[in-house]
């Protein structure tokens, strides 16, 4: 549990898990699945939106199917923590770049794991060289370009697991 | 092809077994493009990956041999632990457990082990399609005991009592039930248990859907006082662990019953496949969490299904278990088979006619909700349209 987590009921969790898998479910549909009233579901969702639990409703896209140049890179960043603010000040500055999709503080041989998106390798390399590496507190970066995406957000992209059941069985 | 036929050489008992009523609809559904099937008797989940991976690893380790007739000792130990924890019935792993090729084999063994020629087997209907033929093949006489929507398709002690004769030896129970989704509340089970004790009946209890119980906890008849020793408890991995194609189940009971069943099993099957046994071991050791996740998913869909039939105006009692609903379709003016056939042809939705599960299933259809929420929503939209059309046609016919 995060240090600023809210106390949630089982119903909150069930609604969140359903929405995490399919954000297009309507309140009426969720109400049916969970045996709640539509009003209860709507009130819960509004509360979870207002308290910052639900941040946005997205679509998971297989960008390999889209005719658009796109490059992803994982960048390991070593940071000298600053007195008083630890890693947060640097993380804050890195996170504000729109090129940065994901940003984590991690244990191990480096400190920040940064997922960067750009149109070309050159663009990403340029971002690292001119924006990320020179930041005060950053002592080293290692860039790993993504070659292929196999799984995203729990979904296997080239999933060959079809429904192989007989159409009618006893 | 030669013109000679060999049917006169076939065993008349086998010849007399009617072909399954499901077959025709299977062919019809299979050749229909864009069909949404609610006619499937197995989960829509693939076996969890950790189970599949454990099986692959077992193969890499060279697990390709026979196992003891009754199954791998560590699997039998894991099974008795699981059953004791889940249902509160204790069995000895050395002589009271038999690992079988699905519950199907276990049921066949149980019937063959106890039924002598002419013995009567009480079979509450609607029921799974194999009970009647397996009883006949074992030399027994199936005695159907029908139930209806009024009693929520539950087997009732009074109805069973009326069917008992001096030749009655076995009561074959299946709750949660395929095809209706009915469960037997403890009080009803207790009345049945008293009846079995009073008439010295053996119970063969097919509890393959036990984990898929949505309101309250599943009670096994074997857990009731005085019932453990006269019950042959059958269950397996197919439904709750999504392992239908592995063909792996088990029987639990008094050593005399299990011993007799093992005798038949050792000569006919030798042992259940070692690969499936290794997978089952992994499922019991590390698969409970995933199983509960699947059960929860089914419970969501069950509510969707019950609401959909209410919206359509088809009476459907609230199914407490399994993944089936059994709505009453008589208001459409169609028989179960007409309904099924036309629904496939006109709206491309497959269900199973209720009469495939016994005569008292006429007027009902079995709808499996082992399908995704999106598929269910689309299927019910089509079915709603279909039902409205036939009802309107019927009203017009009445007026003219």
Question: How many Å apart are CA A94 and CA A86, to the nearest integer?
Answer: 14
Residues of chain A with pLDDT under 50: 1
Domain count, chain A: 2
Does residue A161 lie within any of the structural domains?
no
Q: A78 and A44 in one domain?
A: no
Residues of chain B with pLDDT under 50: none
Does residue A102 lie within any of the structural domains?
yes
Spell out which residues of chain B touch residue A168, defining contact as CB-CB under 8 Å: 22, 25-26, 29-30, 37, 39-40, 350, 352
Tell which of A156, A168, A169 to mutate to test the B interface (max B CBs under 10 Å): A168
- A8 in reach of chain B (CB within 8 A): no
Chain B nearest-CA residue for A28: B304
Does residue A63 lie within any of the structural domains?
no
Residues of chain B with CATH 3.40.640.10: 64-288
Domain B64-288 CATH (choose: 3.30.2010.10, 1.25.40.10, 3.40.640.10, 3.30.70.20): 3.40.640.10
pLDDT tens for each residue of A88-129: 999 999 999 999 999 999 999 999 999 999 999 999 999 999
Please give the ipTM for the structure prediction.
0.86
Question: How many Å apart are CA B140 and CA B115, to the nearest integer?
Answer: 6
Domain residue limits at A30: 10-50
Does residue A72 lie within any of the structural domains?
yes
The partner residue sitting opposite B304, judged by closest CB among A22, A33, A161, is: A33
Spell out which residues of chain A touch residue B46, defining contact as CB-CB under 8 Å: 161
User: Around Cβ A69, how many Cβ atoms within 10 Å?
Assistant: 10
Does residue A88 lie within any of the structural domains?
yes
Q: A34 and A80 in one domain?
A: no
What CATH number is attached to the domain comprising A32?
1.10.10.10
Q: A141 and A81 in one domain?
A: yes
Angle between helices B288-312 and A27-34 (to 10 degrees): 110
Do residues B147 and B360 lie in contact, with contact meaning Cβ atoms separated by under 8 Å?
Answer: yes
Does residue A1 lie within any of the structural domains?
no
What CATH number is attached to the domain comprising A79?
3.30.70.920
The partner residue sitting opposite B129, judged by closest CB among A22, A25, A170, is: A170
Residues 126-145 of chain A with CB under 8 A from chain B are: none
Question: How many Å apart are CA B244 and CA B115, to the nearest integer?
Answer: 27
Does residue A128 lie within any of the structural domains?
yes
Q: A111 and A74 in one domain?
A: yes
The partner residue sitting opposite B37, judged by closest CB among A35, A161, A168, is: A168
B7-47+289-390 classified as CATH 3.50.50.60: no
> What is the DSSP secondary-structure string of B56-121?
HHHHHTT--S---TT--HHHHHHHHHHHHHHH-----TTTSEEEESHHHHHHHHHHHHHPPTT-EE
- A35 in reach of chain B (CB within 8 A): yes
């Amino acid at each position: 549990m995060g240090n600023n987590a809210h106390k949630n009921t089982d119903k909150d969790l069930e609604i969140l898990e359903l929405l995490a898998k399919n954000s297009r479910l309507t309140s009426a549909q969720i109400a049916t699945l969970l045996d709640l009233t539509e009003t209860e579901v709507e009130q819960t969702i509004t509360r979870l939106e207002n308290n910052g639990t639900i941040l946005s409703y997205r679509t998971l896209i297989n960008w390999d199917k889209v005719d658009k140049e796109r490059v992803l890179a994982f960048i390991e960043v070593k940071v000298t923590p600053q007195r008083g603010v630890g890693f947060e000040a640097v993380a804050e500055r890195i996170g504000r770049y729109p090129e940065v999709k994901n940003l984590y503080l991690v244990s191990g041989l480096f400190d920040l794991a940064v997922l960067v998106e750009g149109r070309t390798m050159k663009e990403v390399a340029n971002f690292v060289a001119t924006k990320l590496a020179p930041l005060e507190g950053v002592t080293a970066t290692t860039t790993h370009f993504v070659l292929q995406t196999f799984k995203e957000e729990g979904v296997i992209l080239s999933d060959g697991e079809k429904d192989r059941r007989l159409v009618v069985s006893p | 092809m030669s013109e000679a036929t060999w049917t006169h050489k076939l065993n008349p008992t086998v010849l007399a077994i009617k072909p399954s009523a499901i077959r025709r609809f299977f062919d019809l559904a299979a050749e229909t493009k864009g069909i949404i099937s609610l006619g499937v008797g197995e989960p829509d989940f693939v076996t969890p990956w950790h189970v599949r991976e454990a099986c692959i690893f077992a193969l890499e380790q060279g697990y390709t041999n026979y196992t003891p007739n009754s199954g791998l000792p560590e699997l039998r130990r894991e099974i008795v632990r699981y059953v004791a924890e889940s249902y509160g019935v204790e069995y000895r792993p050395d002589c009271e457990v038999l690992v079988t090729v699905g519950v199907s084999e276990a049921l066949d063994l149980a019937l063959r082990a106890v039924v002598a020629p002419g013995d009567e087997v009480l079979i509450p209907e609607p029921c799974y399609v194999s009970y009647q033929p397996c009883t006949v093949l074992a030399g027994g006489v199936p005695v159907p005991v029908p139930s209806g929507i009024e009693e929520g398709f539950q087997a009732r002690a009074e109805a069973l009592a009326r069917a008992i004769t001096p030749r009655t030896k076995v009561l074959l129970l299946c709750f949660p039930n395929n095809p209706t989704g009915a469960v037997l509340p403890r009080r009803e089970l207790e009345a049945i248990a008293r009846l079995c004790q009073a008439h010295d009946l053996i119970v063969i209890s097919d509890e393959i859907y036990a984990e898929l119980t949505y309101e309250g906890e599943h009670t096994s008849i074997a857990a009731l006082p005085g019932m453990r020793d006269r019950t042959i408890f059958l269950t397996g991995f197919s439904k709750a662990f999504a392992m239908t194609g592995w063909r792996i189940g088990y029987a639990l009971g008094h050593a005399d019953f299990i011993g007799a069943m093992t005798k038949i099993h050792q000569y006919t099957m030798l042992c259940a496949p070692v690969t499936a046994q290794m997978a089952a071991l992994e499922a019991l050791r590390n698969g409970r969490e995933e199983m509960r996740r699947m059960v929860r998913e089914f419970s969501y869909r069950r509510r969707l299904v019950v609401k959909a039939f209410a919206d359509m105006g088809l009476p459907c009692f609230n199914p407490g278990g399994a993944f089936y609903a059994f709505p009453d379709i008589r208001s459409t003016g169609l028989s179960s088979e007409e309904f099924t056939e036309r629904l496939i042809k006109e709206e491309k939705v497959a269900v199973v006619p209720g009469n495939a599960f016994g005569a008292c299933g006429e007027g009902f259809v079995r709808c499996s909700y082992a399908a995704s929420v999106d598929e269910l929503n689309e299927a019910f939209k089509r079915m709603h349209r279909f039902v409205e059309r036939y009802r309107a046609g019927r009203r017009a016919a009445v007026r003219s």
